[in-house]
Each structure stands twice: as structure tokens, then as C-alpha cells.
Copies of this chain bind each other. A is one copy, B any other.
């Protein structure tokens, strides 16, 4: 059924045209100043049409992150194929994560907006679930690096994996939050990288130092 296939394709194309227009505008101006009307105009549609494809302005906003973060995960997947120490892998993973958000800062804002305002976003359940799963995927990859370190004898088997992975993820996001939108613009990237490097080094040293209380 070519006819049905064409209609499906047109719907898909329409959705993508909306996302593309929205992405451009959000990245240029941020969430608030961009109106649904302006997205509609850039996508060459009416405002009513936007709501045929997306439930809300927030849904469009978060869908942008979901579209982009697949590339990040594909990139990360290659990381674990490259032979190296677990410590090196962890640093490299952190750098790729940071690069992803440095490349487009608005993506980080989208992630944080979601993390901080989940219940206010008015997202359909499946989109909520999808974002959570996607975020967890990143966290799981961090956990795999720790497991890899234990397997190679690099890290002690006594590490609390869940705790460590959450701590690393939190630290990455916390450091990025501190420096991505504030400070001297030309020094932000370096500030993030060096702080993360120092933080990871210290955390890893902590892992390797026997706990005298045990």
C-alpha cells in the first residue's frame, strides 16, 4: 500500500520538520522566548498543526534531546571496544559526555529542565519513560566501566557499583551545571574539563585507598 506508506512518510517528515525548526529556535533563544507560533511559522505550518503531532511545547523541547542523545550513545558504545585501563576509559567517557553538551549547550538545559521539572513538563507517559530509560542508559554505561575495572583487578570488588555510578553521573552534571552557562565564556570548557579530571582522579584514588574502618 504505497498510499498508506506515503501518508506515513508525510507524517514522519512533518514531525521532523517541526523538530528541526524548534531545535533551531530553542538553540538560538532558549525555551521561554520561543513561541509555538514561531515554531509553526518556521516549519511552514499553522499553530494548530503543531498540536496534531506534539502534545505540548515541553514535549517538543524534550524530544530534541532524545533525537540527539542517540548519537552520543553510539559514540560511547565504541569507547568500550578500545583497550585501555578502566580509569582511562572513565576519563574518556566523561570527556565525550562533556563534549556532547559543549557542542550544544541547550541540550544540557533540556536534560536539566527535565530532571528538575519532570512533573511539570506535561509529557505523555511513553515520552517520560523514554527519557528516563535514555538517561539510565548513560548511567549504566558508567556502571559497566566500573565492572570492567573490577574484572581486570584495577578496582577492588568491594565498590558499591550503584553508588559509584550515580556519584560519577551526579558529579559530571553538577560540574557542567556550574560552568556551562556562567564564568568567562572562553574558559568554560577548560574549567569543566579540568574540574572533572580532578574530581575523577580523586574519586578513583578514594576507590583504591583501603578503608581503615573496615
Interface residues of A (CB under 8 A from B): 2-3, 5-6, 41-42, 44-46
How distant is A47 from chain B, measured CB to nearest CB, in Å? 10
Could you tell me the distance between the alpha carbons of A46 and B41 in the complex, rounded to whole angstroms?
30
Which residues does chain B contribute within 8 Å of A44, judged by CB atoms? Answer: 2-3, 5-6
10 contacts between A and B (CB under 8 A): A2-B41, A2-B42, A2-B44, A3-B41, A3-B44, A3-B45, A3-B46, A5-B44, A6-B44, A6-B45
Which residues does chain B contribute within 8 Å of A6, judged by CB atoms? Answer: 44-45
Could you tell me the distance between the alpha carbons of A5 and B43 in the complex, rounded to whole angstroms?
11
How distant is A91 from chain B, measured CB to nearest CB, in Å? 46
Q: In the complex, which residue of chain B has the Cβ closest to the Cβ of A41?
A: B2
Which residues does chain B contribute within 8 Å of A3, judged by CB atoms? Answer: 41, 44-46
Centre residue among A3, A6, A42, A45 by max chain B CB count within 10 A: A3
Q: A2-B42, A5-B44 are in contact. List 8 more A-B contacts (CB 8 A).
A: A2-B41, A2-B44, A3-B41, A3-B44, A3-B45, A3-B46, A6-B44, A6-B45
Q: In the complex, which residue of chain B has the Cβ closest to the Cβ of A46?
A: B3
Could you tell me the distance between the alpha carbons of A45 and B6 in the complex, rounded to whole angstroms?
8
Could you tell me the distance between the alpha carbons of A3 and B50 in the complex, rounded to whole angstroms?
13
Could you tell me the distance between the alpha carbons of A44 and B3 in the complex, rounded to whole angstroms?
4
How distant is A32 from chain B, measured CB to nearest CB, in Å? 23
Could you tell me the distance between the alpha carbons of A44 and B45 in the complex, rounded to whole angstroms?
23
How distant is A181 from chain B, measured CB to nearest CB, in Å? 32
Which residues does chain B contribute within 8 Å of A41, judged by CB atoms? Answer: 2-3
How distant is A137 from chain B, measured CB to nearest CB, in Å? 36
Q: In the complex, which residue of chain B has the Cβ closest to the Cβ of A42?
A: B2
Could you tell me the distance between the alpha carbons of A45 and B4 in the complex, rounded to whole angstroms?
9
